[in-house]
């Protein structure tokens, strides 16, 4: 669960960085902004979220090259991050529900065993 908490924290930082770039504008992105995105790209790549890392890489390349498609790349990265966020939320909810179901089944099984002991 700690791994998910770290990924959740990274997603929050990514959302903040991407939102900041969208609000301020890509031409206002300085070396610190790009370094932050590069660090997040590496973090997501290391966590196995290659799709997010790829979108961030495309955004970084477009911004550095002053490409006209940089805004579209940013929006694709934002969309991918939001979708990943939703999928992660569903995965966590499913695991919590299955753990809860398993606990209820365990309680029911121990209740049946207690009935037989009396």
Grade residue 108 by pLDDT with cuts at 50, 70 and 90: low
The span from the CA of 94 to the CA of 92, in Å, is: 5
Q: Could you read off the pLDDT of 22-38 as tens digits, one per residue?
A: 999 998 999 999 999 99
Number of residues that make up the chain = 118
Token pair in block for residue 107:
């309680």
Q: What is the pLDDT of residue 69?
A: 94
Token pair 């070396």 is found at 31
pLDDT band at 110 (very low <50, low <70, confident <90, very high): low
């Amino acid at each position: 669960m700690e791994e998910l908490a770290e990924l959740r924290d990274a997603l929050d930082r990514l959302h903040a960085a991407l939102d900041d770039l969208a609000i301020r504008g890509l031409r206002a992105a300085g070396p610190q902004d790009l370094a932050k995105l590069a660090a997040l790209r590496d973090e997501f790549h290391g966590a196995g979220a290659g799709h997010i890392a790829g979108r961030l890489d495309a955004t970084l390349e477009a911004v550095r090259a002053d490409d006209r498609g940089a805004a579209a790349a940013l929006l694709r990265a934002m969309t991918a991050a939001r979708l990943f966020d939703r999928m992660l939320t569903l995965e966590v909810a499913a695991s919590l529900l299955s753990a809860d179901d398993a606990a209820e089944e365990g309680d029911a099984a121990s209740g049946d065993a207690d009935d037989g002991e009396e």
